[in-house]
Amino acid sequence: MNVGKVYLVGAGPGDPGLITVKGMDLLRRADVVVHDRLIPHELLRECRADAEIIDAGKAQHDHRIPQPQINALLVEKARAGKLVVRLKGGDPFVFGRGGEEALFCHAAGVPFEVVPGVSSAIAAPAYAGIPVTDRALASAFTVFTGHENPNKPESAVDYPAIAAAARAGTLVLLMGVTYLPQIIAELLKAGIDGAKPAACIESGTTPDQRVIVGTVDTIVGLAQVAQVGSPTLFVIGDVVNLRAQGLDWQTP
């Protein structure tokens, strides 16, 4: 049997120009493309005219194709001898379930390869004029999710550790819109400084990008007034102030 191969390709954070050269080459050669909701959809124009394009996008409470079926689909297409691209927003291994899909392929004896992508965790702040590290302001950055596996008995996020990390570095919260009030409340309870600068970045790296700047104490209210939606990430740290000091390179 001629078994094909599954490529877990990071599509980048929204700007279609941020896909890697290798990722673009595979996309153009693919027999089958199984893509997520938050990929830059302009990339699909690069696919072969005869390629099979499968939309496996997920929104909250709306999983078009459940994850177990996605896993099985990748294996099925590869076993048919196809070059399969699993096109995922950002990077496959940054809160993207790429590890689960790779393990499923391995268990099924299907070859796979991971093609890393540019994560929104660094790209969206960069497009907003916020470097996640700075020699004077932040020697580290911590990325955490606001949307954990709902089957967990309790949250695995160590809020005291994250609040402590904010004292010498930057916090980046992904997928946190829905539970932002609770997350900020947990951070404040854990001792984070309420006056610490904070930013909300909606649709980062795209023409629809919006940036709202405040503090830990005010960012929930500001985000609610602006009615921000997904995809949005939040940055907490002194580096947020650099945006107003000349790093907001997208504003003329």
Give me the active site residues, please: 36, 58, 175
204 contacts 234 by C-beta, under 8 angstroms: no
**Exposure pattern of 79-99 as b/e (b: 16+ CB <10 Å)?**
beebbbbbbbbbbbbbbbbbe
List phi, psi (to 5°) of 228.
-70, 150
Strands ordered across the beta sheet of 32-35:
52-55, 32-35, 83-88, 5-10, 112-115
188 contacts 159 by C-beta, under 8 angstroms: no
Q: What's the rounded Cα separation, in Å, for the pair 82 and 143?
A: 35
- The two tokens of residue 204 are 């980062």
169 contacts 139 by C-beta, under 8 angstroms: yes
Question: Within 10 A of 60 (CB to CB), how many other CB atoms are there?
Answer: 10
- The two tokens of residue 251 are 């504003």
144: β partners: 173
Which amino acid type is present at position 30?
A
Q: What's the rounded Cα separation, in Å, for the pair 98 and 104?
A: 10
